[in-house]
Structure 1
């Protein structure tokens, strides 16, 4: 008889039972250790198991690797060491020089699975992408969802293909020369299926996040909570061979300890990188505009948190306002500052760097020293899941502006000093929206989500009808249509993105250091001209109905729209872009 060792950390419990079988019909008493860990040895049977704390309800394992019957059902044993890997020769992808592609597993392909992504790896490699960033795959309620309401941080969402499906995708991506990052959520759990609080003091009433209680990182009994999150990082990077993690909203990880949890995570990733010879990246989403997030760690406490990269939303906001003219909400600061685009394309990933933010009503951010944190540590995008999906109708930037203007925005982003990131389908100007969707079985929760989003968008002045998050049609509408890749105008846009990424590889000036370049923004008729000079490369775009005609020397390396270079004169028409190679 094969015995399995079961463990549960529940330091405040008076008694804990192990429940075996899919029907949880076999009960085994567990023994408490001095450290608050309860243990038991038992025949695993069908591999399903759960726990009962103090005669309460059956709860899944907080460290469950698989929830085959959903997040409310018993957990299932998984032996991750039994995965069949073929990537022993994989050497990884450094952040410097990377091109990131954010995608949602459930809507990237018609199959909505990890295997569905494998079918399109050649497309991503040929596009010029080097890193795939998966939105969260930790188990969440129902079949469909964004993943930010996950409740089983160690389990891989079963409808996507479960643990083995994720391993197959990572292995196939490595074979195709692509790294894989995963978006993980450590700052909160979703509202349905959150049994973690029944196991132990994982959360605290001392602090709160926009989604509820904060994680207990520095209160009583918090050592094991920190270990829980650090072990989660280790699992993804080691057991699933992932090349990096995107850490969701790290500003909501409230930690007053001298050594912040994020610094511990960075040290762990660095240790794994050094031991395996494969670089592992931790990239933060942070609302603080603080370069200390990616300032290297140092002995004696003089360094930063040591994460390897962070999202730079200010770059997106400045590009978005310049391309669309929108000025509501947090876009207001960027629309009001005529130098916003010049700043984020030339000198800083943060518009707010110790300056006043009218949206926040206070001074925000800290200046960036490029000698300490180079430009490639900041991940910038023209679109992200947040900026598309959190619009009332989930409309992409290309749905509200001409194709030439999106192409011009892409030229500005993909020739910038930041690490660029694309959102799935952006490269061909996908016609499909990407909307917010959930699959909660509790009607009261579903109703609250529907009404809450409608109220939120109404308060911001959105006039569009808000799609029903619970409707299957919302998911279908948000699923990419891969037939578009071969049709116009999508094929032309795809060729433009491929060209831009090829030039980024070929022309060192486009990956040059932060601050080494000149950016100008000038009115032109009913539009404006943005000119960026980096070394021997000049990027010229016209936004709107303006027109540029001026002397120019050099070679036209790429163009989109109405562009001509002849007899020493450059002509760029409305919503068009030109990239020239000129004398240094």
Structure 2
């Protein structure tokens, strides 16, 4: 039997609804809790009636097969016969991470169909698969950030049992799994938590309205709701890490911040399970305190997203300067991102209109910062959801991949990026409320107009309708692309980069001392030095000479985007003068040859 209980501290009475039957719940020993004994069999549909209102889904529902407005269904998380007893886990720091959206990753759009593509990820060299949110959300299709049932797995993806099958299959292939979770808000449709208790507070305002109640009356149980949720994915579903959405919107003035509390709980579970468990924060504040241990006064996150690295690479390659790219794009900025982690580390942010961020001390491991050249946000929140491949030359795309995969940070690829996919990833929803659907359409139009996209696209462009099925379908990966010559070339390049990363510890070193840069803004070349290795970039349209230094003479060209015989007359080593001639939009990785040390 599956235990049935619910927290409703202000209710005078709570009933269990199973079909047309109503059964009163009993007040539990825990304050504010109501329970039903002996529970319900697995696979039973049920809901709660609170003071005569409802029925409403269970706030801790594991499955919503009838949609977010329908009854919940009990699920036995212990029924799965796990095959990963030998799995010892994977530290996310320094791993190659791969973000994917289950609904558009494969034609089937389910967790089970995603399993069929895991071998491709293994061959590519991926270490960690990061799933965009799975919490049940309105309709069949969406990004998942408007989820309203944080304990459930979206039915269109296969439900909770499918997630267990996916994690088991990933572990069998040596892949770790990270799950994107959203604790800072719930979506607007199907959000019934407020019917049960003080899950939200008007003490703070967030971009989504009232904040989750983390420090006001009743917050102890709300905090437990979040912590229990996190531990459940890690324990019952064998997930290896959680990506926490927009942690800067977790408003909490408690003596112990929720993230610090969560860090401690996850560390204890990791000790119990005997494998590493990670917490990856999305944070907009550019503050190293996010990844500083709790014992040292920080929040204790394992790693955090670093959008400044993305912006520095993207703006440099594309020339875009609109919106938050305004302070990025120069080689000076690119160099600062690689040297210092944050571009805005106390400097003026034109986009925000204030000084922003704080410096990252050199002793902090750069693997604690997750870098990218594409993400669901950075692609999907563009006006047309277009990837960099839509406008950049193949060489510039290869340069971006090279800087990402040879840099000091923890690199993350967005699905399809490994083969330079051309399919867009657009913002899509499936709201059943016509008024809400129209509000989303209008919001996207306003957002489009406010970010200068017309300048990027060269004139007015119609924003894809988020509610249209065609917008969703256009965002599906095209798995025939990797077989095409241009895509196959890029895929081979990415796999080669990851091979080099694995073969040479210097190319995956996360210490600040392992990074040095040199550049010439006028000539358009940039050199990223990683110990005895050099990543030479020519972003200019024309061929150019990149100086690597006299000590590089005779060093081996380990990999190059353009064939070296067409550039260097057949040479596979750096000439005696220590320079490397590169084609326009070209990149090469140089390693020490006999008697050389670039």
Task: Please state which band the TM-score falls in when normalised by the shorter chain.
Answer: over 0.9
SS at match of 2:260: helix
Tell me if the contact between 2:60 and 2:151 (Cα under 8 Å) persists in the aligned partners: yes
Residue 245 of structure 1 is matched in structure 2 by: 242
Could you tell me which runs of 5 or more consecutive residues in structure 1 were left unpaired when the two chains were aligned.
none
SS at match of 1:57: strand
Tell me if the contact between 2:152 and 2:160 (Cα under 8 Å) persists in the aligned partners: yes
Cα drift, residue 288 of structure 1: 0.7
Tell me if the contact between 1:92 and 1:279 (Cα under 8 Å) persists in the aligned partners: yes
Residues 1:319 and 2:305 are matched in the alignment? no
List per-residue Cα deviations over 1:336-381 (Å, max 9, x = no partner). x652100112x2221111111111111111111132x200010000
Provide the C-alpha distance between the structure 1 equivalents of 2:370 and 2:451, rounded to a whole number of angstroms.
Answer: 27
Tell me if the contact between 1:72 and 1:193 (Cα under 8 Å) persists in the aligned partners: yes
Cα drift, residue 410 of structure 1: 1.0
SS at match of 1:480: coil
Residues 1:447 and 2:438 are matched in the alignment? yes
Provide the C-alpha distance between the structure 1 equivalents of 2:202 and 2:332, rounded to a whole number of angstroms.
Answer: 43
Q: Could you tell me which of 544, 550, 553 is aligned with 1:548?
A: 544
Residues 1:27 and 2:22 are matched in the alignment? yes
Residue 328 of structure 1 is matched in structure 2 by: 322
Q: TM-score, normalising length from structure 2?
A: 0.93
Provide the C-alpha distance between the structure 2 equivalents of 1:43 and 1:312, rounded to a whole number of angstroms.
Answer: 45
1:51-130 aligned at under 5 Å gives the runs: 51-130=48-127
Decide which moves more: 461-470 or 450-459: 461-470
Residue 170 of structure 2 is matched in structure 1 by: 173
Tell me if the contact between 2:331 and 2:526 (Cα under 8 Å) persists in the aligned partners: no
1:11-22 aligned at under 5 Å gives the runs: 11-21=9-19
Provide the C-alpha distance between the structure 2 equivalents of 1:370 and 1:83, rounded to a whole number of angstroms.
Answer: 45
Provide the C-alpha distance between the structure 1 equivalents of 2:392 and 2:18, rounded to a whole number of angstroms.
Answer: 57
Q: Could you tell me which of 187, 201, 205 is aligned with 2:202?
A: 205
Cα drift, residue 4 of structure 1: 5.4
List per-residue Cα deviations over 1:300-340 (Å, max 9, x = no partner). xx4311110000000000001100000011100113x6521
Provide the C-alpha distance between the structure 2 equivalents of 1:415 and 1:408, rounded to a whole number of angstroms.
Answer: 11
Residue 415 of structure 1 is matched in structure 2 by: 406
Cα drift, residue 385 of structure 1: 0.4
Residue 391 of structure 1 is matched in structure 2 by: 382
Provide the C-alpha distance between the structure 2 equivalents of 1:406 and 1:163, rounded to a whole number of angstroms.
Answer: 37
Residue 479 of structure 1 is matched in structure 2 by: 476
Provide the C-alpha distance between the structure 2 equivalents of 1:96 and 1:320, rounded to a whole number of angstroms.
Answer: 23
Residue 7 of structure 1 is matched in structure 2 by: 5
List per-residue Cα deviations over 1:386-407 (Å, max 9, x = no partner). 0000001100011111011010
Q: CA, structure 1 residues 43+383, in 2 after alignment: closer, same or farther (shift >3 Å)?
A: closer
Residue 437 of structure 1 is matched in structure 2 by: 428
Cα drift, residue 522 of structure 1: 1.1
Cα drift, residue 274 of structure 1: 1.1
Q: TM-score, normalising length from structure 1?
A: 0.95
Provide the C-alpha distance between the structure 2 equivalents of 1:516 and 1:155, rounded to a whole number of angstroms.
Answer: 43
Provide the C-alpha distance between the structure 2 equivalents of 1:143 and 1:517, rounded to a whole number of angstroms.
Answer: 45
Cα drift, residue 130 of structure 1: 0.2
Tell me if the contact between 1:4 and 1:41 (Cα under 8 Å) persists in the aligned partners: no
Provide the C-alpha distance between the structure 1 equivalents of 2:211 and 2:233, rounded to a whole number of angstroms.
Answer: 23
Residue 148 of structure 1 is matched in structure 2 by: 145
Q: Could you tell me which of 504, 516, 521 is aligned with 2:501?
A: 504
Residue 44 of structure 1 is matched in structure 2 by: 40
Provide the C-alpha distance between the structure 1 equivalents of 2:379 and 2:426, rounded to a whole number of angstroms.
Answer: 7
List per-residue Cα deviations over 1:457-514 (Å, max 9, x = no partner). 0222323221111111111110001111111210000000001111111112112212
Tell me if the contact between 1:292 and 1:304 (Cα under 8 Å) persists in the aligned partners: yes
Could you tell me which runs of 5 or more consecutive residues in structure 2 were left unpaired when the two chains were aligned.
454-459, 548-552
Residue 572 of structure 1 is matched in structure 2 by: 582
What's the RMSD between the two structures over aligned residues?
1.5
Residues 1:382 and 2:373 are matched in the alignment? yes
SS at match of 2:78: helix
Tell me if the contact between 2:534 and 2:590 (Cα under 8 Å) persists in the aligned partners: yes
Give the aligned length.
571
Provide the C-alpha distance between the structure 1 equivalents of 2:490 and 2:342, rounded to a whole number of angstroms.
Answer: 29
Residue 299 of structure 2 is matched in structure 1 by: 305
Provide the C-alpha distance between the structure 2 equivalents of 1:158 and 1:452, rounded to a whole number of angstroms.
Answer: 27
Residue 538 of structure 1 is matched in structure 2 by: 534
Cα drift, residue 413 of structure 1: 1.1
Tell me if the contact between 1:20 and 1:44 (Cα under 8 Å) persists in the aligned partners: no
Provide the C-alpha distance between the structure 1 equivalents of 2:139 and 2:346, rounded to a whole number of angstroms.
Answer: 43
Provide the C-alpha distance between the structure 2 equivalents of 1:445 and 1:380, rounded to a whole number of angstroms.
Answer: 34
Cα drift, residue 268 of structure 1: 1.3
Residue 333 of structure 2 is matched in structure 1 by: 340
Provide the C-alpha distance between the structure 2 equivalents of 1:506 and 1:65, rounded to a whole number of angstroms.
Answer: 42
SS at match of 1:307: coil
SS at match of 1:153: coil
Cα drift, residue 550 of structure 1: 5.3
Residue 557 of structure 1 is matched in structure 2 by: 558
